[in-house]
Amino acid sequence: MQLHLTIQVWQKGQWYVARCPELDFVSHGPSPEKARRNLLEVVQIQFEEMRTLGTLEDHLLECGYVTGDAPLIPQTEMISFERSSIQVVYA
């Protein structure tokens, strides 16, 4: 199955965190490449488990993918990204 997805990589201290926002999967590693490889392994493992349980298609639909012909492309698209600083008031 060919799947289009986004991989975001963040540095947190000495670790790197890789995230796929379309699937809401996260992994980490000691380097950006290792975090990315670990994330792809998480996707593979989760898809195998969901296929066994019969829930893979439901999960993909919930994540915005239209199932059917390959490649699977999410029907949602990130259109903006910004960094901001806000004041939060709490009691």
| Number of domains into which the chain is organized | 1
- Using one digit for the tens of pLDDT, what is the confidence trace for 46-57? 999 999 999 999
Residue 56: count other Cβ atoms within 10 Å of its Cβ: 17
Domain span at residue 81 reads 1-91
Q: Where is average pLDDT lowest: 29-43, 47-61, 75-89?
A: 75-89
Q: Is the pLDDT of residue 17 over 90?
A: yes
Q: What is the mean pLDDT of residues 59-69?
A: 84
Kindly report the CATH number assigned to the domain that includes residue 54: 3.30.160
Q: Tally Cβ neighbours within 10 Å of residue 20.
A: 20
Are 18 and 28 in contact, with CB atoms under 8 Å apart?
Answer: yes
